[in-house]
Structure 1
Amino acid sequence: MVCLIAITVMVTPCLTACGQENELTEKVIAAEEVIIEGEAVPLANVPEKATILVPIASGTTTYEGGSVLMDASNTSQGYVMIKYTGKNDKIKVQVTKGSGTTYTYNLNARDAYEVFPLTEGDGSYSVKVFENLSGSKYSQAFSKSVNVKLTNQFLPFLYPNQYVNFTANSETVKQGLEVTKDTKDDLKKVELVYDYVVGGFTYDKVKAKTVASGYLPEVDNVLAKKKGICFDYAAVMTTMLRSQNIPCKLVVGYTGDIYHAWINVYTDESGWVDGMIFFDGNKWQMMDPTFASSGKKSESIMKYIGDGSNYTAKYAY
């Protein structure tokens, strides 16, 4: 089995919330029955404190339908908040920009808001909520269309969400600060985070064979066990970087026929770089990261990145 993690890196100024409301248009929907299959699990400046952006339901712009309440007050920050108050124990949320990729999430919270990111940039998003009928059959319970204009394109990749779930009190956040405390350079921070995770964690081959659809990494549990699949590795590294104001995508997709997760990080010097970190089935490897800061890309990296069959991104969280 081959599982890859890729990293890319970014230095950005501190990002602030914007109070601008986005135009929202309501859809009139008819009840419909759909089949929703479970998603496969991908196997593959020194801060004095962490920079944690906390998603909130501000209550400025809300929409309700049945047992669903959506708070769309902060779409300019790259997310909506959804609360389900009904009795159904299996709820799905689908987020789609235009006619593009549909992101399907489990709604895990009950009687509390849960955050759902808007990761495809500016534009019109459809947000739908489905209640389970039986098996993989779901009935649509709620639908809204949201027009999004982000305050900053990197905001969706700085906030926590269910795939990269952390708070200011997370041990993973604290450990990330400890690991990088001796440097102000963001590229060096990425290298140090990589060395810490890859050098100290063990790839869990048993978990890779038994993990079920709907699995979500719990970064503090992974940190405590020092063991996980590439999805876990990616979530831990993303947490450590986002919490230091380094925009970071947790990307899920394919390398050849293998479903896996990797990380893209951004810097002004390099932009987004794919394929920097990979798992060959035996050990993790990191290609020389210095090319990113200098703008020079090694022949081996460019050969790998340039082969479209190596990386096919499906989702970015």
Structure 2
Amino acid sequence: MKKILVSIVILSVLVFSGTPDYAISKLKLAHENDRPEIVTLSQGAVGESDMLLLVEKDGVRYQYAVPKDEISQYPLQMGSGVYTVRLMAHIQGNRYKEVESLKIDVEAIENDKLYTQSISEINWSSQSDAVIKAKQLTDKLDHDLDQIQAIYTFVTQNIAYDYEKASTVKSGYIPDIDEIYKASTGICYDYSALFASMTRSLGIPTKMVKGYSEAVGGQYHAWNEVYVNGAWHVVDTTIDAAYSQAGYNTELFKLASKYTAAKVY
């Protein structure tokens, strides 16, 4: 089997407080009591500026590229405590200014609330082609494990690894699950976002995890974890697609000891 290529994109951000000198309108960060697991950014016109959203807690930072002219959602997945959420506007180079910020005190959140949402990195709706396919695949299956198996089998048998994309992907890339579904190709980030979108749409708590794995020689990688039968289990559709499409049998769940998480979504 060919070695699976994974690109690592690192962006350093110099943060400057204060309001930018140019106009940014119709921006609103919101955290609702009835949806404590996410922050919503309602975004209208943003001028020519690129935007980042920073989610920070206890010295740990998640950094998100913000899509223009659409509503996007971001998870608060680092456990209970006080979060700082900051919307940043690009100035030049790696310099950014703060546009808006929120302090949010979060209590413990259940898995089925946190990991079944559509978020910026795992963006889906009931009209998404991949979500419609997930419903078709599992229409007559009553148990979560059977539904997970059906989605896993579909992804590993139908999505091919895109080596060219892996070598050219740029900072700020966010998977579009319908584009991945239509093209039937992707990188590890795409596999994990597609799988998570399909299982989350069925109400199955699913994480997308980025980190390092022995399965790819210790390189940076993306995979999933699903919550079933009271425990989290590792699923790696990227690796298993290569084996499955080469005619080998694969196991649904992987050894967690071979995977080291850096970021969880």
Both proteins in one fold, TM over 0.5: yes
TM-score norm. by structure 1 comes to: 0.69
Deviations 1:236-255 (A, max 9, x none): 11111101110100111112
- Matched residue pairs, number? 242
Give the alignment partner of residue 72 of structure 1, picking from 16, 21, 31. 31
Structure 1 residue 102 corresponds to structure 2 residue 61 = yes
**1:158 to 1:222, Cα distance in 2 relative to 1, 3 A:** same
Aligned 1:60-139 pairs, distance under 5 A: 67=24, 68-74=27-33, 76-84=35-43, 85-99=45-59, 101-110=60-69, 112-139=70-97
Moved more, 255-264 or 224-233: 255-264
Query: Equivalent residue of 1:83, what SS?
Result: strand
Which residue number corresponds to residue 144 of structure 2? 186
Deviations 1:75-124 (A, max 9, x none): 7431111235542421111001222x2100112133x5321111122221
Which residue number corresponds to residue 251 of structure 2? 287
Query: Equivalent residue of 2:110, what SS?
Result: coil
Cα distance in 2 for partners of 1:172, 1:204 equals 19
TM-score norm. by structure 2 comes to: 0.81
Deviations 1:245-295 (A, max 9, x none): 10100111112541111000001x250123665617953573255xxxxxx
> Partner amino acid for 1:91?
M
Structure 1 residue 36 corresponds to structure 2 residue 19 = no
Query: Equivalent residue of 1:143, what SS?
Result: strand
Deviations 1:15-35 (A, max 9, x none): xxxxxxxxxxxxxxxxxxx95
RMSD across aligned positions (CA): 2.7
Which residue number corresponds to residue 23 of structure 1? none
Per residue, is there more helix in 1 or in 2?
A: 2
Structure 1 residue 231 corresponds to structure 2 residue 175 = no
Q: Which runs of 5+ in 2 are unaligned?
A: none
Aligned 1:274-313 pairs, distance under 5 A: 274=234, 279=239, 282-283=242-243, 286-287=250-251, 289=253, 304-306=255-257, 310-313=258-261
Which residue number corresponds to residue 232 of structure 2? 272
> Partner amino acid for 2:68?
A
**1:86 to 1:175, Cα distance in 2 relative to 1, 3 A:** closer
Cα distance in 1 for partners of 2:35, 2:114 equals 10
State the identity %. 26
Q: Which runs of 4+ in 1 moved over 4 A?
A: 65-68, 275-278
Cα distance in 2 for partners of 1:279, 1:163 equals 20
Give the alignment partner of residue 224 of structure 2, picking from 263, 267, 276. 263
Cα distance in 1 for partners of 2:224, 2:240 equals 16
Cα distance in 1 for partners of 2:109, 2:61 equals 23
Cα distance in 1 for partners of 2:130, 2:252 equals 25
> What's the CA shift for 1:160?
0.3
Query: Equivalent residue of 2:132, what SS?
Result: helix
Cα distance in 2 for partners of 1:281, 1:240 equals 16
**1:108 to 1:277, Cα distance in 2 relative to 1, 3 A:** closer
Query: Equivalent residue of 2:121, what SS?
Result: coil
Q: Which runs of 5+ in 1 are unaligned?
A: 5-33, 38-64, 290-300
Query: Equivalent residue of 1:279, what SS?
Result: helix
Aligned 1:16-35 pairs, distance under 5 A: 35=12
